[in-house]
Amino acid sequence: MTQRKQLDHDPEWMDLRTAQALADVSERTLRDWIHLPINPLPAVQVEHGKLLIKRSKFDQWLEAHPIQSIDSIDVNQIANDIMNDFREAA
């Protein structure tokens, strides 16, 4: 069975190889997303350390991460927020 045919039946739970083919990203990228400190990609670990991703959660997570234009990022505001957090903590 080809990888494309496996994707056509839309499994509820996908292993990393299936998710990798679906999103056209590397396994390393998926693992990085799963281990993000903030808003990680939801996954479960089953027998022998195998990681599974629920397809509906994967779709939702991807849709929640649209490309943000570099011009739309206010670096000064981010820096000010960080500095304020440090001041409040001191």
pLDDT value of residue 8:
54
Residue bearing the bigger pLDDT, 15 or 66: 15
Render pLDDT for 23-56 as a digit per residue (tens, 0 to 9): 999 999 999 999 999 999 999 999 999 999 999 9
pLDDT at position 67: 80
Q: Whole-structure pTM over 0.75, yes or no?
A: no
Q: How far is CA 28 from CA 2, 24, 32, in A?
A: 22, 12, 6
Domain range annotation of the chain: 3-89
**In this structure, are residues 51 and 44 in contact, taking their beta carbons and an 8 Å threshold?**
yes
CATH architecture of 3-89: Orthogonal Bundle (1.10)
Beta bridge partners of 14: 53
Query: What is the C-alpha to C-alpha distance for residues 48 and 50, in angstroms, rounded to an integer?
Result: 6
